[in-house]
Structure 1
Amino acid sequence: MIVIDNKLISDDVIEKQFVCDLSKCKGGCCEDGDAGAPLDETELKLTEEYYEIIKPYLPAPAIAEIEKKGKYVYDEEFGWVTPTLPTDNEICVYAYREPDGLIKCAFEQAYNEGKIPWKKPISCHLYPIISYKGKHGDYERLNYEPRKKMCSPACKLGASLQVPVYKFLKEPITRKYGQEFYDVLDQIAVKNQENQEQ
């Protein structure tokens, strides 16, 4: 276990390897799960603010589901989450499927095209790291939790390229926790590697 400030980080974050292989998984994390993507309080406002901009990317059933359920829903286990589409394998309503089966995020697509300044929910961006708020106290747990079957190609690709999880996720880790946090994590990872090689 790694401790930085009030964050408890699984050793797997620096010891395991991972690189998304979209050609194999087709963005399956957008439809595989027990609920939609978790949203923090600030992201509730962002989904409201950017909805009309990303709406043209969405299929009609997703728009109908958003108008029926709202732009986010409350889940007893996960808190505020994006709605999902029950008629399409519980895919996130903000995702859409390309003809080749690849699932894309409407927020991310609009971001890539320079239409909005927000890439996507941080919970999606950080995956396969999942953040849990402490049940007893002001702390946060960061665990590495890839889907066993769906993410196996990403684990294999990461291993072949020798890319640790935290390096693959440098952008979202820095986005959520800051550059200083990432630099400390990197220093710990380098030291850990040196110790293993001795």
Structure 2
Amino acid sequence: MISIDNVLVSDEVVEAKFVCDLNKCKGGCCEDGDAGAPLEQEEMKIIEDNFEAVVPYLTQEGLDEIKRQGKFLYDKEFGWVTPTINGGLCVYGFRDEKGIIKCGFEAAYNDGKIGWKKPISCHLFPIRLTETKQYTMVNYEPREVMCDPACAFGKKLKVPVYQFLKEPIERKFGAEFYNTLHQIAVEYFDQKAEKK
């Protein structure tokens, strides 16, 4: 476990290799789960404020579910989350011409319509955050089978999880945090190599 201020980072975040392979998984993390994407408190206001700009990117099915369930809802286990369509695809998701699931928020962001990319829980995947009173726990939790291609691709390219997720880690914790994590990771691997 790596401790930086009040954040505890699992060793796997620096040890494991991971690079999303969307051609293989088709963005399955946007529809495979026990609930929609977990939302931070301030993200619900961001969704409200940016909703109209995202509407053109959403499917009719997604819009119907938003009308029925709301833009977000409370789940007993996960807290505030995005709604899903029949327990599957996130209401803010759509499939492109290759069948890959894309995010309506990210599409609007990429087109310069909004300044927010997507929920941080989505951006950080396969890292999961767990908040306790004292700490934020940062764990590596890829999906079995679905994430196998990403794990294989990461090994092939020799990219650790934290490096693949540099942008969202900096977005959540700041550049100084990322640089500290990187320094610890480099020292960790140097020590490991010396022991061999």
Q: Deviations over 1:145-166 (max 9, x none)?
A: 0001000000000000000000
Q: Deviations over 1:41-84 (max 9, x none)?
A: 11000111111111111111110110111100000111000000
Q: Tell me what 2:170 maps to.
A: 174
- Aligned residue identity for 1:83: P
Aligned-pair CA distance for 1:99: 3.4
Q: Over the residues paired in the alignment, what is the CA RMSD in angstroms?
A: 0.8
**Residue among 115, 125, 128 paired with 1:127:** 125
- Aligned residue identity for 2:41: E
Aligned-pair CA distance for 1:100: 2.4
Q: Tell me what 1:146 maps to.
A: 142
Q: After the TM superposition, list the runs of 4 or more consecutive aligned residues in structure 1 that deviate by more than 6 angstroms.
A: none
Instruction: Tell me how far apart the structure 2 counterparts of residues 83 and 98 of structure 1 sit (CA, whole Å).
Output: 20
Q: Tell me what 1:74 maps to.
A: 74
Query: What pairs with 1:1-198 in structure 2 (closer than 5 Å)?
Result: 1-86=1-86, 90-134=88-132, 137-198=133-194
Unaligned runs of 5+ in 2: none
State the TM-score, normalizing by the size of structure 1. Answer: 0.96
Unaligned runs of 5+ in 1: none
Aligned residues: 194
Instruction: Tell me how far apart the structure 2 counterparts of residues 56 and 114 of structure 1 sit (CA, whole Å).
Output: 14
State the TM-score, normalizing by the size of structure 2. Answer: 0.97
Instruction: Tell me how far apart the structure 2 counterparts of residues 80 and 144 of structure 1 sit (CA, whole Å).
Output: 21
Q: Classify the secondary structure of the residue corresponding to 2:74.
A: strand
Q: Classify the secondary structure of the residue corresponding to 1:84.
A: coil
Aligned-pair CA distance for 1:119: 0.2
Q: Classify the secondary structure of the residue corresponding to 2:51.
A: helix
Percent same amino acid among aligned pairs?
A: 58
Aligned-pair CA distance for 1:28: 0.3
- Aligned residue identity for 2:5: D
Of 94-103 and 9-18, the range deviating more from structure 2 = 94-103
Q: Deviations over 1:122-166 (max 9, x none)?
A: 0000000000011xx221111000001000000000000000000
Instruction: Tell me how far apart the structure 2 counterparts of residues 43 and 129 of structure 1 sit (CA, whole Å).
Output: 18
- Aligned residue identity for 1:96: F
Aligned-pair CA distance for 1:17: 0.4
Instruction: Tell me how far apart the structure 2 counterparts of residues 158 and 152 of structure 1 sit (CA, whole Å).
Output: 10
Of 92-101 and 106-115, the range deviating more from structure 2 = 92-101
Instruction: Tell me how far apart the structure 2 counterparts of residues 139 and 195 of structure 1 sit (CA, whole Å).
Output: 27
